[in-house]
């Protein structure tokens, strides 16, 4: 697969923006029909431990997860802001690594660092568009600072 750099950058920008705007249906549309979405603490990943915080291996499962998150979100009202750094295009474009941070703002208006980590994405071209086939989110901490109420 010949990598289209602009399309990769756009996909990452859209990924963060759609979560931040709480457009979760459009966000789901960024994933391929057959996809995987995982959140794994980096420490576990480095040690080869399989235990993740979230594991979805189909889009249906990811949809369920999002529905549950939305429910949880009612008790943890906040907004997100994703800042995604310049991505690294690895393995001839078969893998994209992009560092990210997420800030959350609560109802009192306080903004806090919520999470930092690395997106490790495998993409596929489907119908003239890039889609996420496999998203591995390596979270820098095993101690998620508060209820995980929106996708990372």
**Binding mask of the shown chain, residues 100 to 139, with x at each position contacting a second copy by CB under 8 A:** xx-x-x--xxxxxx-xxxx---------------------
Q: Which is nearer to a second copy, 5 or 67 (CB)?
A: 5
* Bridge partners for 38 per DSSP: 55, 136
3-state secondary structure of 148: coil
What residues have CB less than 8 Å from 25, skipping those under 6 apart? none
CA distance 93 to 85: 17
Task: Decide if residue 12 touches a second copy (CB under 8 A).
Answer: yes
Stretch that binds a second copy, among 23-31, 48-56, 123-131, 142-150 (CB under 8 A): 142-150
Enclosing H/E stretch for 105: strand 95-106
CA distance 53 to 43: 12
Using CB under 8 A, which residues numbered 27 to 56 contact a second copy? 42
Binding site for a second copy (CB under 8 A): 5-6, 9-10, 12-14, 16-17, 20, 42, 79, 81-89, 97-101, 103, 105, 108-113, 115-118, 140-143, 145
């Amino acid at each position: 697969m010949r990598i289209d750099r602009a399309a990769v950058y756009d996909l990452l920008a859209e990924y963060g923006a759609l979560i931040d705007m709480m457009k979760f249906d459009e966000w789901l549309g960024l994933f391929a029909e057959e996809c995987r979405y995982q959140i794994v603490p980096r420490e576990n990943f480095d040690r080869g431990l399989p235990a993740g915080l979230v594991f979805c291996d189909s889009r249906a499962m990811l949809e369920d997860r999002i529905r549950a998150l939305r429910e949880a979100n009612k008790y943890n009202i906040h907004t997100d802001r994703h800042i995604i750094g310049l991505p690294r295009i690895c393995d001839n474009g078969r893998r994209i690594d992009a560092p990210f941070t997420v800030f959350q703002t609560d109802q009192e208006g306080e903004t806090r660092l919520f999470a930092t980590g690395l997106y490790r994405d495998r993409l596929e071209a489907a119908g003239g568009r890039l889609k996420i086939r496999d998203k591995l989110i390596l979270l820098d901490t095993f101690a998620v600072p508060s209820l995980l109420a929106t996708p990372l």
